[in-house]
Amino acid sequence: RPRIGILTSGGDCPGLNAVIRGVVKSAYRLGFETLGFVGGFEGLVDPVRYRVLTPQNTSGILVQGGTILGSTNRGRFGVTVGKDTKLSLPEPLIEAVRQTFEETKLQGLICVGGDGSLSIALELHRAGLPVVGVPKTIDNDLSCTAFTFGFDSAVNCATDALDRLHTTASSHDRVMVLEVMGRHAGWIALHAGIAGGGDVILIPEIPWTLEGIIAKIDDRRRMGKEFTLIVVAEGAELPGGGTVNREAEQTGRQTRLGGIGVELTEQLAQRIDQDIRCVVLGHLQRGGGPTNFDRVLATQLGAHAVRLVMQKRFGEMVCYQPPQIDSVPIAQAVGELRRVPHDSSAVAAARAMGISFGDSMD
């Protein structure tokens, strides 16, 4: 059988295994054998590590979280600069990848990853290697695709947390701050905030002030609501600029003990006459199995990626442009993240519900 390769790169995400299964099953039916490279792009170079994947040995993985292939988000293909990883693909590294393609007789490689990983895929394509991309991030901030798989699962997790915080906050008349993921964009905070009945949503895209939040808390108390739920995206800037973990970000050594959520809670505690608590949801949002929506989306993306390889449409990335699964050049999708537009219908609906963004438009 001719061979097709797949790897998963960057932070894990519910639905990665569903993509792998989608690729393996559809490739098999088209007469291809699938090699799964282990540990992201690292698996392509010394020591080259792959597993032959079959419909049999991938049976049952649809519902599993994580990735059976493992992943690396900081390896030889990137260097850490601040909170981001910048590409580093010297010629010998590309040559080593080329050699792996030749030795394993790969007809094409499917790279599943976020902005950074897809940028590596793009460089390999530019070097003449047959790669296609599948977009992945719980943050939902990749361009050219309306949703990324993993986002719905993360929102589900954050919504469940809000539902739970709701009952304890109202029992104790407390302000509860929930910090969710979203390094550059506030999609998770926005959707979970709407779905979980949040009162204040703080996102990197909309500048906010402590006064804006306090005004909302006071408003609610005047209406007899003695508790307030605040959802804050980890990338939301502190008023006056800067995220809290700036120093840690510069050294690339974030511990994720809590950032903006903790800082905001401490600052609000000085200013309000009410009990306040903070929960940092962290990697719970990335763990666990995918929702039904993510299973369907990931399966479709996997199957479509195989079609792209068959059609030799290399350098393209599968994407979801409802109602269609489609594809775009990877070059078009990477480099610029998709952030929450101020005038998006979700922001407008949230405002219509009386949800505050901590700004002057309440």
Q: Is 66 in the site for ligand F6P (CB under 6 A)?
A: no
Q: According to the annotation, is 254 in a ligand binding site?
A: no
Q: According to the annotation, is 345 in a ligand binding site?
A: no
Give the SS3 label for residue 343.
Answer: coil
Q: According to the annotation, is 324 in a ligand binding site?
A: no
Q: In angstroms, what is the minimal distance from the CB of 87 to ligand F6P?
A: 16
- The one segment of 21-29, 135-143, 190-198, 339-347 that binds ligand F6P by CB under 6 A: 135-143
Binder among 44, 138, 144, 264 for ligand F6P (CB under 6 A): 138
Q: In angstroms, what is the minimal distance from the CB of 141 to ligand F6P?
A: 8
Q: Is 182 in the site for ligand F6P (CB under 6 A)?
A: yes
The residue to which tokens 């989306």 are assigned? 297
Nearer to ligand F6P, 164 or 183 (CB): 183
Q: Is 259 in the site for ligand F6P (CB under 6 A)?
A: no
DSSP character string of 271-318: H-SS-EEEEE-GGGGTSSPPPHHHHHHHHHHHHHHHHHHHTT-TTEEE
Catalytic residue among 12, 46, 84, 139: 139
**55 near 62, Cβ under 8 Å?**
no
Which residue is nearest to ligand F6P, using beta carbons? 181
Binder among 42, 123, 139, 179 for ligand F6P (CB under 6 A): 139
Binder among 11, 22, 113, 290 for ligand F6P (CB under 6 A): 11
Binder among 49, 183, 307, 351 for ligand F6P (CB under 6 A): 183
State phi, psi for 204 to the nearest 5 degrees: -60, -25
Binder among 61, 181, 236, 347 for ligand F6P (CB under 6 A): 181
Q: Is 284 in the site for ligand F6P (CB under 6 A)?
A: no
Q: In the structure encoding, which two tokens stand for residue 333, read together?
A: 């999708």
**C-alpha–C-alpha distance, residues 113 and 338, integer Å:** 15
Q: In the structure encoding, which two tokens stand for residue 169, read together?
A: 């906050």
Q: In angstroms, what is the minimal distance from the CB of 139 to ligand F6P?
A: 5
**C-alpha–C-alpha distance, residues 108 and 299, integer Å:** 19
**Neighbouring residues of 203: CB distance < 8 A, sequence distance ≥ 6:** 182, 185, 186, 189, 190, 233, 235, 236, 340, 357
Q: According to the annotation, is 115 in a ligand binding site?
A: yes
Q: What binding mask, one character per residue, do residues 23-42 give for ligand F6P by CB under 6 A, x or -?
A: --------------------
Q: In the structure encoding, which two tokens stand for residue 260, read together?
A: 């903006």
**C-alpha–C-alpha distance, residues 305 and 24, integer Å:** 11
* 139 tagged catalytic: yes
Beta bridge partners of 171: none
Q: According to the annotation, is 183 in a ligand binding site?
A: yes
**49 near 69, Cβ under 8 Å?**
no
Half-sphere exposure in the Cβ direction for 219 (13 Å, CA): 13
Cis peptide bond prior to 47, omega within 30° of 0 = yes
Q: According to the annotation, is 116 in a ligand binding site?
A: yes
Nearer to ligand F6P, 137 or 300 (CB): 137
Q: According to the annotation, is 162 in a ligand binding site?
A: no
**Greatest pairwise CA separation for the chain in angstroms:** 71
- The one segment of 95-103, 175-183, 293-301, 304-312 that binds ligand F6P by CB under 6 A: 175-183
- The CB density around residue 342, as the number of other CB atoms within 10 Å, is 13
Name the binding residues for ATP. Answer: 11, 74-75, 114-117
Q: Which residues are catalytic?
A: 139
The residues of the shown chain that bind ligand F6P, judged by CB under 6 A, are 11, 73, 114, 137-139, 181-183, 234, 256, 286
Name the binding residues for substrate. Answer: 137-139, 174, 181-183, 234, 277, 283-286
